[in-house]
Chain A
Amino acid sequence: MDHWAPYQPNDDAPWNVQRIVHLHRRAAFAATWSEVQRDLEEGPASAIERLLDGHRRLELADDFTRMAESIGDAAMASNSPIRLRAWWFYRMVKSPDPLGERLTLLWHNHFATSNRKVNNLIWMREQNEIFRAGCRGSFGELLSSVLKHPAMLTWLDADANRKGHPNENMARELLELFTLGIGNYTETDVLNSARALTGWSIKDDKFAHRDSRHDACEMTVLGKTQKMNGDDLLRLTLKHPATAKRIAWRLCDHFMGERVCGHEAIHELADEIAKNEFDLSHAVATILRSQLFFSAENLRSRISGPAEHTVATLRALELTTPSPSTLLLADWSSRMGQDLFYPPNVGGWTGGRGWLGSRAVIAKTNFGTALATGKLWRSRNIDKIETDLTAMLERNSVNPSQQSRTEWLATLLWGSVEDRAVSSVIDAAKEAKHPLARIVELLLAQPEHMLG
């Protein structure tokens, strides 16, 4: 495992504030300054393991779980998609397991399902919980639970796929998007996979196999000829080497920067994933513990997605108590291009550079202004934000000069002081009536803040 050798701090890649900020931007929703200091003291192993173990802390957090449940239930009762999105934002802002929420985002994108067709918030929430519960288990189990759930069965027309009248929708996306990836199967494989999936259906809001609709003939898929049902088909796709590669790519796409993982690194990670029976915990840990993850080229080389951008900014600045309106956060994420529970199509969000279309840039800039002027809260204004920020800087013993404050905030948000940005911010905030709020607004509009 040349590419995924464990990280050891060294002269080229020291364990420092920049790397801690990096870790939390990629694997969580940013860190507060005291978390950064804690990780600096305790070292990389402890910082990484804490994130990986987040679900254990989640199990102990009764208050959070109860609160999240009741917000989720209220969203169901109101049958309002925006409130379901707000529920997820509440989780992202408050969860003791931020990595779990990041992984839930990842799988929501991999198995992109939209409520615009499913039209059932209960199913959408259940699917979301499947991602959350399964993100540290085996990919095979996750794949099976997601596919055999009414949300996905509806989304990909499983019910229309019957013996003698195959509907290829689910079969095609299974091969193209969920497992093998394009170029690794033929059109005949798609057709016969659809035949294998016949009989999959929904009954009483649950998955049901209708034997009478199942095509029980022998068929050939990916070179194997046999009688085949949907479960057999899933097993077959997992055995195909391209599937491990696609999962490796998916994880790298989420955790690694642009062009950091070459063909060989993906290949090596895929081998590791296949060798460990698609254990997702192991795969994620391999990435987060690696030298490559902490390499200089991986720092600040990824455009952050709307949901993470929104939540991370608030968390780093310790502006989550009182909690901002999660309805508004969900709305801002939509304006930046990520309408949770409504991905643009079955392929999910393209991500990467796709996150910076004109409308998204405008939304990200306006989000910074809304944050700095208190508009993300029901009853705050710029005076209160100025007070909050002043208190936060005092708590962290920051020297009150404009220069020090700006540099410190830049470090907190980006991991390093970017001289150009900092000097232009200081310059532009000189005359401001609310200097800290203005500095923050300016920092959030910088190109540096679009990267993580």
Chain B
Amino acid sequence: MHSRRNFLKTSSLVSLAPLLPTVLGKTAVAAKAASDEQVLVVIQLDGGNDGINTVVPFGDDAYGRSRKKLRLKAKDLHKLNDHVGLHQQMKAAKELFDDGRLSIIQGVGYPNPDRSHFASMKTWQTARLDTADHTGNGWLGSALDAQMAAASKPNQSANANAIFVGDRETPAALWGRHSSTIGLSKAADLQLDASEETRSAQPTGPGADDLQQFVRQQIVTAHNAAEEFAKQSADKSTDVTYPNSGLGNQLKLTAQLLRSGNPARVYYTVQSGYDTHSDQQFTHARLLSEFSRSMKSFLDDLKAAGLADRVVLMAFSEFGRRVAENDSAGTDHGTAGPVFLAGEPVRGGLMGATPDLSDLVDGDLKSNLDFRRLYAGLLRDWLKVPPARICGGDFEPLNLFA
């Protein structure tokens, strides 16, 4: 009964829409009401981020010994304590850290690490160590499946549960048995090209039956969403500037989607280029700068939009890199690395023990922390689904939230 009443209210307003565009805009609020649940945004740092030159253990004597050409000077770093500091290009991340909006979880990995990009990425995406299990569904797709199953009534929404922002294939992390993901690379997919006349000649009055009513409601909702989205895009009043780069634009689009009331619970995007086998210094600095500034713009943007309490961002890479640099001023595939968790709701600060650069296995860092404990914390406390099935076992959830 409730939804019918809402609809009639909406449609009677819409009948006046050609004359009253602002009224039409306001009805979008009704469409937004259902989408006030927690959202997870994931950034995949693709290629294997050199965690050691990201969260730099300048206080570890072994650091200078293993990094001759690539050593970052302690005085340039953004120090987090007297032992570790962020790369000099990560000023924005340091500000978030100081503000309590960034947790850095150190030394995250898994037992018997695989140094293949593909296998290790699949491990992270499926939360399964055995490559034989890598063809299954992803941890986020399964989480969304669990949310759908737990919902008291079946999902009536015609909208996707997850959005992949990017133009490559949807990552395995988002594959689910029932949940659905759309890929979105361009804002154009959410913009109406139709002539002014077509936009205003939209349905008036209730439909003759339930189905027709549904169709009309969906059209009204979509047009409102497009209008809201266009307004967001055109809106200059937001002071937030994003880096004009791939990741910057992807996060900007994500923020627009969130502001326009899109009901997806998971957003996923990729920053590529971390496979720095040679002449790493400049590339890595550029990537970390882009990452850290984009992340800060995104969080500031959400804060200004009043969405900061609803959204948490996680950034991970499939592995870190070897402790010792190679002969080409680069680094080769390694093991454990830091994971970033950002947003108003997170605890903030450094978590997990700093990896010891002298305590290595075959020249690689030991992982202090299984990534599935991190997932378990996110699943239990943020996406609100039982973690064990998704993680393939009982992992003690990390306490990630304030």
CB-CB nearest in chain B for A366: B193
Please state if A428 and B204 are interface contacts (CB–CB under 8 Å): no
Query: What chain A residues lie within 8 Å of B192 (beta carbons)?
Result: 362, 365-366
A450 → chain B closest CB, angstroms: 5
Asked if B198 is at the interface of the complex by the 8 Å CB criterion, the answer is yes
Whole-angstrom distance between the alpha carbons of A301 and B182 in the complex?
26
A369 with B182: CB separation less than 8 A: no
- B198 touching A445 by the CB < 8 A rule? yes
A169 at the interface (CB under 8 A from B): yes
Contact A428 to B189, CB < 8 A, known contacts A356-B158, A447-B219, A450-B215: no
Count A-side interface residues using an 8 Å CB cutoff: 48
How far is A160 from B169 in the complex, measured between Cα atoms in Å?
24
Q: Which of A357-397 contact B (CB under 8 A)?
A: 357-363, 365-366, 368-370
- Is A441 an interface residue, CB under 8 A from the partner? yes
**Nearest chain A residue, comparing its CB with the CB of B209:** A301
**Is B156 within 8 A of A353, CB to CB?**
yes
Chain B contacts for A157, CB-based, 8 A: 135
Set of chain B residues within 8 Å of A450, measured between Cβ atoms? 215, 219
Asked if residues A359 and B189 are in contact (CB atoms below 8 Å), the reply is yes
For the complex, is A286 an interface residue (Cβ under 8 Å from B)?
Answer: no
Instruction: Identify whether the interface residues of A are mostly helix, strand, loop, or mixed.
Output: helix
Residues of A within 8 A of B223 (CB): 361
Scan residues 62-81 of chain B and give those whose CB is less than 8 A from a CB of chain A: none
Across the interface, name the chain A residue whose C-beta is closest to B196: A428
In the complex, are the beta carbons of B136 and A442 less than 8 A apart?
Answer: no
User: Nearest Cβ distance between residue B99 and chain A, in whole angstroms?
Assistant: 34
- Known contacts A345-B175, A347-B178, A362-B190; A116/B170 CB under 8 A: yes
**A361, closest chain B residue (CB):** B222
Q: How far is the CA of A356 from the CA of B198 in the complex (A)?
A: 18
CB within 8 Å of B: which A306-359 residues: 335, 337, 344-347, 350, 353-359
A263 within 8 A of B: no
Answer yes or no: B211 CB below 8 A from chain A CBs: yes
Tell me if B180 and A428 are in contact (CB < 8 A): no
User: What 0/1 readout, one digit per residue, does chain B (140-173) give for beta carbons within 8 Å of chain A?
Assistant: 0100000000000000111110000000011000
Contact code string B212-228 (vs A, CB < 8 Å = 1, else 0): 10111011011101100
Q: How far is the CB of B177 from chain A (nearest CB, A)?
A: 6
In the complex, which residues of chain B have a beta carbon less than 8 angstroms from the beta carbon of A347?
177-178
Q: Are B180 and A345 in contact (CB under 8 A)?
A: yes
Chain A residues within 8 Å of B157, by CB: 357
Stretch at the interface among A26-34, A191-199, A214-222, A419-427: A419-427
A95 within 8 Å of B (CB atoms): no
**A134 CA to B137 CA, complexed, in Å:** 30
Q: Which of A160, A337, A432, A446 contacts B203 (CB 8 A)?
A: A446
User: What are the residues of chain B within 8 A of A447 when measuring CB–CB?
Assistant: 203, 207, 212, 215-216, 219
Are A360 and B158 in contact, CB atoms less than 8 angstroms apart? yes
- Cα of A347 to Cα of B176 in the assembled complex, Å: 10
Asked whether B198 lies within 8 Å of A428 as measured between CB atoms, the reply is yes
Provide the bound-state CA to CA distance between A438 and B262, in Å: 30
Q: Which of A117, A257, A438, A451 contacts B215 (CB 8 A)?
A: A451
* Minimum Cβ distance to chain B for residue A46 (Å): 31
Does A413 make an interface contact (CB < 8 A)? no
A269 at the interface (CB under 8 A from B): no
The 0/1 profile, CB within 8 Å of A marked 1, for residues 92-107 of chain B is 0000000000000000
| A445: B residues at CB distance < 8 A | 194, 198, 201-202
**Docked CA distance A446–B203 (Å):** 7
Contact of A361 among B180, B195, B204, B219 (CB under 8 A): B219
A359, B190: Cβ atoms under 8 Å? yes
C-alpha gap A337/B163 in the complex (Å): 13
Give, as a whole number of angstroms, the nearest-CB distance from A32 to chain B. 24
- A357 and B190 alpha carbons, distance in the complex (Å): 11
A358 touches B222 (CB 8 A): yes
CA distance A347 to B141 in the complex (A): 13
Min Cβ gap B12→A in Å is 15
**Are A353 and B135 interface neighbours, CB within 8 A?**
no
A442 — which chain B residues lie within 8 A by C-beta?
197-198, 201
Q: How far is the CA of A215 from the CA of B343 in the complex (A)?
A: 52
**Chain A min CB distance to B131 (Å):** 10
CB of A317, distance to nearest CB on chain B (Å): 17
Q: B193's contact among A337, A345, A369, by CB below 8 Å, is which?
A: A369
Q: Are A337 and B182 in contact (CB under 8 A)?
A: yes
Q: Is A167 an interface residue (CB 8 A)?
A: yes
Is B38 interfacial (CB 8 A cutoff)? no
CB pair B212–A451 under 8 Å, yes or no, is yes
Tell whether, in the assembled complex, residue A258 and residue B198 are in contact, meaning their CB atoms are under 8 Å apart.
Answer: no
Contact, CB under 8 Å: B203 / A345: no
Residue in A117, A361, A438 whose beta carbon sits within 8 Å of that of B197 in the complex: A438
Q: Which of B92-137 contact A (CB under 8 A)?
A: 132, 135-137
Pairwise interchain contact B211-A451, C-beta atoms closer than 8 A: yes
B175 touches A441 (CB 8 A): no
Which residues of chain B have C-beta atoms less than 8 A from A346's C-beta? 177
A-B contact pairs, 23 of them (CB 8 A): A157-B135, A167-B132, A169-B135, A169-B136, A303-B215, A344-B181, A345-B177, A345-B180, A346-B177, A355-B158, A356-B214, A356-B218, A358-B221, A358-B222, A358-B225, A362-B190, A362-B226, A363-B189, A365-B219, A368-B194, A368-B198, A445-B201, A445-B202
8 nearest CB pairs, A to B: A361-B222, A428-B201, A357-B158, A428-B197, A358-B222, A356-B218, A447-B215, A357-B159
A positions within 8 Å CB-CB of B: 116-117, 157, 160, 167, 169, 257-258, 301, 303, 335, 337, 344-347, 350, 353-363, 365-366, 368-370, 420, 424-425, 427-429, 432, 438, 441-442, 445-447, 450-451
List B residues at the A interface (Cβ < 8 Å). 132, 135-137, 141, 156-160, 169-170, 175-182, 184, 189-195, 197-198, 200-205, 207, 211-212, 214-216, 218-219, 221-223, 225-226, 262
Known pairs A442-B201, A447-B212. 10 more at Cβ < 8 A?
A257-B211, A345-B180, A356-B214, A358-B221, A358-B222, A361-B223, A362-B190, A362-B225, A365-B192, A429-B197
